[in-house]
Structure 1
Amino acid sequence: MAHRTAPGAVAKGGAMTLPAYIIHLERAVGRQQNVAMLCRALGPETTVFSGIDGRAVAPLHAPKPRRTAFPVYPFALRSAEIATFHSHRACWQRMIDDGHPAALIVEDDIALDPPFRAALDLALKTLAPDRLVRFSLTARERGEVVAQGKGDLRVLRPSVIGLGMQALLVTRGAAIRLLQSSVTFDRPVDTFVQMRWLHGVDVLTVLPSGVRERSVEMGGSMIHAPMSFVERLQRETLRPVYRTALALRSIAARL
């Protein structure tokens, strides 16, 4: 059994010893080399976690409609989105079962650039019960600055939480809350995480994160599938309406 160290501890030689999980589909052979690179970067406490395959989603995995969550999500969930949500739920449960007070959870299509280490160190300094820190791929979020690092490095509490689940620093308390509030769900996991009033987790974002997406280099997304013209038109019409409603609800939750 690997020796467990405190979150954020660094072993001799600079290797990270923070527990980490890489969510990876076994059939995604084109990503195996990237997974190996992530394992080396994240250190000896890394576990490759088998994600749920959207091609094998059974009716048992399908979410039950939730009509009480506002704003109402206007699109039908795809099997890959359902599988991705269940993959993250299973990973949250695994980190709880493993007894970690906090852990990194990353998807298998990212790269960790040199600025990631400083971003992680600053994120670790902000950890508190029931808190989650997102490593955003973009710098679009705005909000209250919680911690300031060197240069433009900062951790903020965004007014509207951004999308994406590529890299997260999750505390045990946050994992428990997310699990309890997502027994049923009606939207993708990153859209669910945006609803802090629903799950009660304090979601922060670190910018710049040093995390970069590589899915295009490795054959594209495992979630998105071709859409019909009607479906594309519906999404282009309803997406801004949903985003506006989400932004208004997010602001109301902060008041």
Structure 2
Amino acid sequence: MNNQNLQQKFELYVINLDRSLERWQRIKPHLENMDLAPVRISAVDAVNSSADVLSAHYSLAVNQQTFFMPLKPAEIGCFLSHRKALETFLTASDKPYAIILEDDVEFVHNISQYIQQWEDALAGDTPVMLKLFKRRPISGVCVTKNERTQLIKPKLVPLGTQSQVVNRSAAKALLVAFSQFGMPVDVAYQHFWQHGVDVLIAVPNQVNEISQIVGGTNIGGSKGLSFSYKAKREIKRSWFRLKLKLKSGYHFAKTKPTAQK
């Protein structure tokens, strides 16, 4: 499948803040140089959004039940931006698949090298998400491979939402599962036993993260927080991650696929 045929089956969305248009101006020609037609999703900006907008799907009650600390406004905005991309895909397109990118990535190779494998993995009615980037090595089962790439079903879905490809069933499932959310979007995606989407990871990475080149992350850090607060938060974070790893391993074992030889 060439890149022009890809446009008949795949929508390509880039999530970008209105106050960071220079990032859009960088990624847009990168994609257009591969004969792609990216659609810009105006990200939900926590800085310029009202409390009503930020609380439209973020639930403090769900947060207290499912996560170890309240979300930062930027984390809420990030989740809402990914919801917006999924909603746009389902309401404004009739194509079967969507590529959803944040604005701080670039493809390692021409996308034409990947798309047949993507379509093979996403075809059918089963909800599937294919993540194209991970920061650390993962363990799991290889479900399919070609001469360039393995697709791994991981024991623990890696963090990050820099780049993923979904089918329509996955987009619908994610919107339903997280109509109310209380954790960051990448943590929510780790809970595959709750949202019901089959999450696969491309190995090696098919995109590079270039956030440091384009100015760093738009999600605030720990500046201004007391040492005691940060220490307590890290203890809670470590405990949360341990429980999540154990839960994920349990559910992975229940649904472990057959490895491809």
Could you state the TM-score of these two structures normalised by the residue count of structure 1? 0.87
Query: Does residue 90 of structure 1 match 2:84?
Result: yes
Following the alignment from structure 1 to structure 2, what is the Cα–Cα distance between the partners of residues 66 and 100?
A: 36
What letter is aligned with 1:108? D
Q: CA offsets, 1:232-255, max 9 Å, x none?
A: 323322222111101111122232
Q: Structure 1 stretch 123-132 or stretch 241-250: which is displaced more? A: 123-132
- 3-state SS of paired residue (1:126): helix
Q: CA offsets, 1:10-43, max 9 Å, x none?
A: 33xxx85232000011101341332323431564
Q: 2:144 aligns with which of 130, 137, 147?
A: 147
Higher helix share: 2
Alignment of 1:167-206 (within 5 A): 167-206=163-202
Q: Is the 8 A contact 2:27 2:106 kept in 1?
A: no
Q: 1:111 aligns with which of 106, 115, 118?
A: 106
Following the alignment from structure 1 to structure 2, what is the Cα–Cα distance between the partners of residues 136 and 44?
A: 20
Query: Does residue 230 of structure 1 match 2:225?
Result: no
How far off is 1:66 after superposition?
Answer: 4.5
Query: Per the alignment, do residues 178 and 42 of structure 1 end up closer, same or farther by CA in structure 2, a change over 3 Å counting?
Result: farther
- 3-state SS of paired residue (2:129): strand
- Give RMSD over aligned pairs: 2.2
Aligned residues: 243
Q: CA offsets, 1:189-238, max 9 Å, x none?
A: 00000001111111111111221111111111101234313343233222
Alignment of 1:11-30 (within 5 A): 11=4, 16-17=6-7, 18-30=10-22
Following the alignment from structure 1 to structure 2, what is the Cα–Cα distance between the partners of residues 116 and 137?
A: 18
Query: Per the alignment, do residues 141 and 118 of structure 1 end up closer, same or farther by CA in structure 2, a change over 3 Å counting?
Result: farther
Query: Does residue 121 of structure 1 match 2:116?
Result: yes
Could you state the TM-score of these two structures normalised by the residue count of structure 2? 0.85
Following the alignment from structure 2 to structure 1, what is the Cα–Cα distance between the partners of residues 213 and 170?
A: 32
Following the alignment from structure 1 to structure 2, what is the Cα–Cα distance between the partners of residues 237 and 172?
A: 38
Q: Structure 1 stretch 45-54 or stretch 103-112: which is displaced more? A: 45-54
Following the alignment from structure 1 to structure 2, what is the Cα–Cα distance between the partners of residues 116 and 235?
A: 40
Unaligned regions of 5+ residues in structure 2, if any? 255-261
Q: 2:68 aligns with which of 61, 74, 81?
A: 74
Query: Per the alignment, do residues 238 and 38 of structure 1 end up closer, same or farther by CA in structure 2, a change over 3 Å counting?
Result: farther
Query: Does residue 209 of structure 1 match 2:202?
Result: no
Following the alignment from structure 1 to structure 2, what is the Cα–Cα distance between the partners of residues 142 and 111?
A: 25
Q: Structure 1 stretch 135-144 or stretch 187-196: which is displaced more? A: 135-144
Unaligned regions of 5+ residues in structure 1, if any? 1-7
Q: Structure 1 stretch 163-172 or stretch 140-149: which is displaced more? A: 140-149
Following the alignment from structure 2 to structure 1, what is the Cα–Cα distance between the partners of residues 212 and 82?
A: 22
